[in-house]
């Protein structure tokens, strides 16, 4: 457990909780601790799905600009890979991941949310990539994940202008997947993650890898990735149990051993 980030596990769901007062600014220590929590969540068998959460007030207001302003070009050349690695570690968790976005998710905080598989936002949440207003661009994957999520023209609008996006607009453009009352966002995310508690663990992992890696290549290669993942699941006990249960009891009644 880190000073600013902890992994809390309960009933099959791991919550990666960012807690750095006052606004969860992502300094280098916090980024390192996010990476460590993501690796732990990936490796633990008792974690079947993950919630990213910054608390009731704010998800993460962005990078620690005071820390970053003091860095030289050579400092950032050395540090930039680590900045991206912390977010990539979250994106590579081989389990369903949902971001529970409250308050502000700006800059690096927005990029952290983008690394999740889905995003649930509080009705009063605000998202954005305002780096251009500081004379830079997103540096933790935002210029790549955002256009893949909402399309290049919409992503360019947000990144070029640096404007903030309220929850209703974020939902309309596909930046978030569900908007709920502010006091319910964590519970909604927890319920979504909990639905995979008894799911087909290896099939979920294969589905995530097929989608994510398929998006990184052309359609023909993506289809081949799918074929390999599909065939590999015939080596699992989950596949045997799932198909036998379907034949005997119908769909949706299998109890997967994982």
pLDDT tens, 1-17?
A: 799 999 999 999 999 99
pLDDT tens for residues 133-145? 999 999 999 999 9
User: Can you tell me the distance from the alpha carbon of 241 to that of 257, in angstroms, rounded to the nearest whole number?
Assistant: 8
Q: Which of 40, 111, 224, 244 is catalytic?
A: 111
Mean residue pLDDT across the chain: 95
pLDDT band at 126 (very low <50, low <70, confident <90, very high): very high
| Percentage of residues of the chain with pLDDT beyond 90 | 88
131 is catalytic: yes
State residue 258's pLDDT score.
77
User: Can you tell me the distance from the alpha carbon of 238 to that of 243, in angstroms, rounded to the nearest whole number?
Assistant: 9
Cβ atoms < 10 Å from Cβ of 119? 29
pTM (2 d.p.): 0.95
pLDDT tens for residues 170-222? 999 999 999 999 999 999 999 999 999 999 999 999 999 999 999 999 999 99
Q: Which of 40, 131, 216, 224 is catalytic?
A: 131
φ/ψ of residue 161, rounded to 5: -85, -25
pLDDT tens for residues 82-97? 788 999 999 999 999 9
Average pLDDT estimate for 247-252 = 92
State residue 35's pLDDT score.
97
- Given a cut of 90, is residue 64 above it in pLDDT? no
Please give the domain boundaries of the chain with CATH numbers for all domains.
5-194 (3.90.226.10), 201-249 (1.10.12.10)
Average pLDDT estimate for 142-152 = 97
User: Can you tell me the distance from the alpha carbon of 212 to that of 214, in angstroms, rounded to the nearest whole number?
Assistant: 5
Distance of CA 64 to the CA centre of its chain: 20
State residue 240's pLDDT score.
95
Average pLDDT estimate for 97-116 = 98
Note whether 48 and 95 are within 8 A (CB). yes
- Given a cut of 80, is residue 33 above it in pLDDT? yes
């Amino acid at each position: 457990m880190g000073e600013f980030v902890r992994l809390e596990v309960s009933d099959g769901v791991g919550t990666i909780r960012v807690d750095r007062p006052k606004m969860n600014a992502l300094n280098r220590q916090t980024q390192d601790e996010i990476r460590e929590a993501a690796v732990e969540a990936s490796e633990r068998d008792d974690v079947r799905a993950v919630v990213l959460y910054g608390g009731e007030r704010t998800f993460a207001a962005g990078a620690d600009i005071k820390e970053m302003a003091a860095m030289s070009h050579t400092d950032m050349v050395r540090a930039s890979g680590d900045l991206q690695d912390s977010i990539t570690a979250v994106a590579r968790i081989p389990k369903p991941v949902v971001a529970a976005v409250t308050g502000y998710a700006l800059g690096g905080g927005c990029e952290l949310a983008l690394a999740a598989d889905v995003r649930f936002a509080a009705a009063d949440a605000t998202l954005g990539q305002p780096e251009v207003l500081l004379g830079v661009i997103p540096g933790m994957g935002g210029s790549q994940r955002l256009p893949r999520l909402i399309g290049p023209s919409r992503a360019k609008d947000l990144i070029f202008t640096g404007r903030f996006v309220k929850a209703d607009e974020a939902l309309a453009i596909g930046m978030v997947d569900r908007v709920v009352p502010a006091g319910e966002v964590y519970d909604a995310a927890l319920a979504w993650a909990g639905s995979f508690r008894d799911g087909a663990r290896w099939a979920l992992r294969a589905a995530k890898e097929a989608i994510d890696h398929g998006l990184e290549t052309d359609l023909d290669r993506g289809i081949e990735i799918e074929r390999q993942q599909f065939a590999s699941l015939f080596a699992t006990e989950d596949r045997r149990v799932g198909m036998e249960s379907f034949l005997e009891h119908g769909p949706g009644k299998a109890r997967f051993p994982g």
